[in-house]
Amino acid sequence: MAEQARGKVEVNQDECKGCGLCVESCPPKGLTLSPELNHYGVHPAQYHAEICTGCGICYFVCPEPGAITVYRLAVAKSEVSDAATV
Amino acid sequence: MSEYNVSQCRTPVFFDRFERKDENQHQTHYCPGCGHGVAHKLIAEALGELGLQDRTVMVSPVGCSVFAYYYFDTGNVQAAHGRAPAVATAVKRSNPGSIVISYQGDGDLAAIGTAEIVHAANRGENITVFFVNNSIYGMTGGQMAPTTLIGQTSTTSPWGRRPNNEGFPIKMAEMLSALEAPVYIERVALSDAKHIMQARRAVKKALQLQKEGAGFTMVEILSPCPTILKMEPTVARHWVADTLIKQFPLGVYRDRKPEFEPVLVPQKGVAELLGISGKRLSDEERHARRQHTRAKTIKVSGFGGQGILLLGQLIAEMGMREHMEVSWLPSYGPEMRSGSAHCDVTLSHDRVGTPLVSTPDVLVAMNEPSLRKFAPHVRPGGVILYNSRQLPEDLKFEGLTVACVPASEIADQIGSAKVSNVVMMGALLEATDCLPFTTAQAVLSGLVKNRKLAEMNEKALEAGRNYLDTEVLVGAVAGPDGCGE
Amino acid sequence: MRQLCKGNVAVVKAAIMAGCRSFYGYPITPASEIAEYAALLIPQVGGTFLQAESEVSAINMVYGAAAAGQRVMTASSGPGISLMQEGISYLAGAELPCVIADVMRAGPGLGNIAPEQSDYFCMTKGGGHGCYRNIVLAPSSVQEMASLTMLAFELADKYRNPAVLLADGFVGQMMEPLDLELVEPVVPQKPWAVKGDLETRKNLISSIHLTPDLMEAHIRHLEEKYSECERNECRSETYRTEDAEVLLVGYGIVSRILRSTVDLARQHGVKAGLFRPISLWPFPSKALATAAKSAVKVMVVELSTGQMVEDVKLSINGSMPVEFYGRVGGNVPSAEECQAELFARMEVLV
Ligand SMILES: Cc1ncc(C[n+]2csc(CCOP(=O)(O)OP(=O)(O)O)c2C)c(N)n1
Ligand code: SF4
Ligand code: SF4
């Protein structure tokens, strides 16, 4: 079994405006813009590779209040570098 | 496989759905990639972390962020263009326990609202200002802002901003840091992840300081406006990083508390403060108690410094104490500046109609010009009291009682020119019998605390009364020789 | 017990009696004394006085304090009132109660500091943008500077709207007996205010209504409120109108002068009466029409070139001639001059 990613991202397709700021900001480059259009007519962001570290940067650079939810692996909490608060 | 826990998600400081919005209630109204959205998020996160949501009042400006109240589940007040710091000032002072945020754009804060931000900062209002500097007017479609860069085009600077026409970009963080009162001013940028995290810390620090009651805090946030800049959101962010920051250097401009001792005002009860005492008399009771007084209209005139206005006030005060209806009207308006002064006093048994005394029963003329000006208007049968030993040669008055009382001379003898008006008061009471002397004494002694002056006042009142009593023939038909010694 | 008090000072005392603990202002003659006394007195009862950087800021501070649920006031004159108009429009639009004392001076422009009544239009008709009204009360004595200030606070809260005390330099500068009685002010609950607490967190103070339908609904709501105010709040006073053949109409200081003119005219056998609007908006049209019943002519006197006269004409509605006599620039006619003007217009020879 491949090592489980330390974090996970969910993008709310309904809220995302496809600006791409999260895509650019994600350190391990785990986000991309979807080739599909959402109801709004833009290409929303999507999490495409299981490499999220749970740093939370994409959450903070995203202008939309709830377009991004970031998860962290429960056990690994203390081991995770707290990039978002550095 | 381990479970994932939520580490970052929509903060409850934002409404769940933006119900104050007409449509698309799950999305903000901001353009894709707009810095306002990020700034909102940083503020909301900080409020949540600091536990301030319930106490917060967001004052939103006019600009793209006019609808901040769609999003923040806090108290919300929408303000006129540029005036948010003034509104926030009073919101905070009304409820000092509240956390008040003034959220403003660069047109709002640095152009139309320059006075308001400078003075709120200078007073050290305990509010937090988030100043979103995107170098342009967003809401109105891309006109020049005071922060627009040299050479940057906008719809109102089509040739690029020219220093010779529009001057230079205004640096608010630097300007406000020149003031004494602000406790914390930092400029941050929403240009990339690293700077956004720095902005996050600054936003939180400013609110933390407000929570501690520290004073005025401001975070200037350099922010991308992709729409007006006509750039892709990512490119707009790079422009902030590469170009805007060069003009507006980032950093902490102020981080210290001014030292001073607050001065507190002593407190009083309302009744004491407003002089409310004793019981109210009915109109009938007052009517019954003023039967010994005489109704008169009086004009007191002279030049400024002779105590003209005060003499009038004293007479009005006496009339009031004797339960009369009274009014006192100072010379006011154009006449006031010429060095001459006069006032009108009405002592009446009925409700006073016009407080203007155009045809007085009594004229007190403390100098010659005022005698010449007002004497012709004295009512037939009226009284003139003139501050001199005699009338000017050329003046004659038919059908009037004229008493020449050298009040200034008498006052000098008593020891102060200041009491000449009180000498005249004594003479006036003697000549008209309108009010009792005892009231005059009571009013005067209530007026001055200084014993020496009080004694002089008493002497002056007496002297005026006696002068008229012994030296002037009251009731004698007037004329230059009908008065004086 | 009565106290001899200046009109401007009476305003501050009354405000304190009415529970006002917030004053935001900017100095201008002849209204400065109101700010000066507010600065002296209001902090002594635990309130806030702040001299703002301009009238623009002052009225926006009033907006903030009103939004936060305070009884709040400001005071100004001509040029300052002009600067406040945007804020007053916002206050009306956001339905915030406040009291604005306008001690009128001569204009336009810097004009001079002498009394005039030339802010009638801008205070009763709008002045700022949009379909709104101010409640406007016109005191004519020092006692009324106090009683109408208190009433202004009451009406402002009742209708959630700015209320204006429209005084002139004379009433402001005059001293007369002031009889105050200590009563606990009745300040209504303001559940709509934004106080920075859990209970009011949901509240929003704003005058924006983005879609035409919502905006229209809001304006209709205001209109409704103004109609109710017109039904309930017209105030006026008459003097010897029962048999009056000619009706004099004036407000503020002019009504005092005209009261004397009525007596003078009657001494000369002319049956004159006085109608004095106390509320200038809502204008007491019905009461005026009633007072004019026995009259054949109306004469309006103002310290302006003719502003209130327009409302008098609307009230009289063409049923009799409406004459006008105005003085401006700080000139104030005496009772005798008004009498002469009246007689000239009636072709009465004396
Ligand atoms: C008194 C007044 N003048 C002009 C306007 C029009 N106006 C609305 S927003 C705005 C500019 C806002 O620019 P800024 O403060 O930079 O905010 P942004 O929209 O860029 O966020 C202007 C001029 C107004 N609403 N009120
Ligand atoms: S930053 Fe937010 S709005 Fe932009 S693409 Fe990513 S999820 Fe979508
Ligand atoms: S115009 Fe600019 S500032 Fe306004 S919402 Fe769009 S991107 Fe943001």
The pTM for the full model equals 0.94
Residues B251 and B293 in one domain: no
The residue among B255, B279, B305 that closes a domain is: B255
Domain covering C2-232 in this structure, CATH number: 3.40.50.970
The residue written with tokens 């327009």 in the block is: C310
Judged by CB atoms closer than 8 Å, whether chains meet at B8 and A56 is answered as: yes
CB B357 within 8 A of CB B346: yes
What are the beta bridge partners of residue C269? none
- Assess whether chains C and B touch, using the rule of 3 or more C-beta pairs within 8 angstroms: yes
Interface B-C, measured as beta-carbon pairs within 8 A, has a size of 239
B31 CA to centre of ligand 3 in angstroms: 5
What are the beta bridge partners of residue B300? B343, B364
Range of the domain at A14: 7-85
Residues B248 and B330 in one domain: no
Which residues in chain B are contacts of A4 at CB distance < 8 A? Answer: 1-2
Residues B224 and B297 in one domain: no
The helix or strand, by DSSP H or E, that contains position C67, with its residue range, turns out to be: helix C55-67
**Facing B87 at nearest CB: one of C2, C3, C60:** C60
Range of the domain at B392: 288-471
Does B201 contact chain C (CB < 8 Å)?
Answer: no
Which tokens in the block code for residue C268? Answer: 């000369």
pLDDT at C350: 58
Among chain A residues, the shortest Cα distance to B202 is held by A85
Residue C293 CB neighbour total at 10 angstroms: 11
Best residue among B30, B36, B38, B62 to mutate for probing ligand 1, ranked by most atoms within 8 Å of CB:
B62
The alpha-carbon gap from B331 to the nearest alpha carbon of chain C, in Å, equals 9
pLDDT band for A2, please (50, 70, 90 cuts): low
**Facing C3 at nearest CB: one of B54, B265, B275:** B275
Does C347 contact chain B (CB < 8 Å)?
Answer: no
Query: When comparing pLDDT for A39 and B225, which is higher?
Result: B225
Domain count, chain A: 1
pLDDT band for C274, please (50, 70, 90 cuts): very high
B423 CA to centre of ligand 3 in angstroms: 76
pLDDT at A61: 98
ipTM (interface predicted TM): 0.96
- Which burial class, exposed, middle or buried, applies to B31 when counting CB atoms under 10 A from its CB (0-12, 13-18, 19+)? buried
pLDDT at A84: 47
pLDDT at B481: 36
The bound ligand whose nearest atom lies closest to the alpha carbon of B131 is 1
Domain count, chain B: 2
The helix or strand, by DSSP H or E, that contains position B329, with its residue range, turns out to be: strand B325-330
Give the C window 194-213 contacts with B, CB below 8 Å: 194-198, 200-208, 210-211
- Which burial class, exposed, middle or buried, applies to B164 when counting CB atoms under 10 A from its CB (0-12, 13-18, 19+)? exposed
Residues B217 and B170 in one domain: yes
Give the B window 82-111 contacts with C, CB below 8 Å: 83, 86-91, 93-95, 97-100
The residue written with tokens 């306008």 in the block is: C102
- Rounded to whole angstroms, how far apart are CA atoms B107 and B132? 10
pLDDT beyond 80 at C282: yes
Answer yes or no: is the C-beta of B132 below 6 A from any ligand 3 atom. no
Residues B292 and B225 in one domain: no
Closest C-alpha among B165, B453, B471 to residue B307: B453
C106-109 LR contacts (CB < 8 Å, sep 24+): C106/C78, C106/C328, C106/C329, C106/C330, C107/C78, C107/C79, C109/C79
Q: What is the average pLDDT across C244-265? A: 98
B147 CA to centre of ligand 1 in angstroms: 14
Secondary structure of chain C: what % helix, strand, coil (to 5)? 45, 20, 35
Q: Which CATH number belongs to the domain containing residue A20 in this structure?
A: 3.30.70.20
The alpha-carbon gap from B390 to the nearest alpha carbon of chain C, in Å, equals 31
pLDDT beyond 50 at A80: no
Say if strands B251-255 and C98-106 run parallel, antiparallel, or are unpaired: unpaired
Contacts of B229 (CB under 8 A, 6+ apart): B136, B236, B239
The residue written with tokens 């009056």 in the block is: C244
- The answer to whether position A1 is within a domain reads no
- Say whether domain C237-344 belongs to CATH 3.40.50.920: yes
**Facing C177 at nearest CB: one of B22, B83, B326:** B326
Residues B217 and B134 in one domain: yes
Q: What is the mean pLDDT of chain C?
A: 97
Query: What confidence tens digit (pLDDT) does each residue in B132-153 have?
Result: 999 999 999 999 999 999 999 9
pLDDT beyond 60 at A86: no
Among chain C residues, the shortest Cα distance to B313 is held by C175
Tell me the H-state helices in B350-395.
368-374
Contacts of C214 (CB under 8 A, 6+ apart): none
**CATH 3.40.50.970 residue ranges in chain C?**
2-232
pLDDT beyond 90 at A40: no
Residue B168 CB neighbour total at 10 angstroms: 12
Contacts of B473 (CB under 8 A, 6+ apart): B482, B483
**Positions of chain B with pLDDT lower than 50, given as ranges:** 334-336, 474-485
The alpha-carbon gap from B191 to the nearest alpha carbon of chain C, in Å, equals 32
Give the C window 239-298 contacts with B, CB below 8 Å: 253, 256-257, 259-261, 263
- The answer to whether position B261 is within a domain reads no
- The answer to whether position B70 is within a domain reads yes
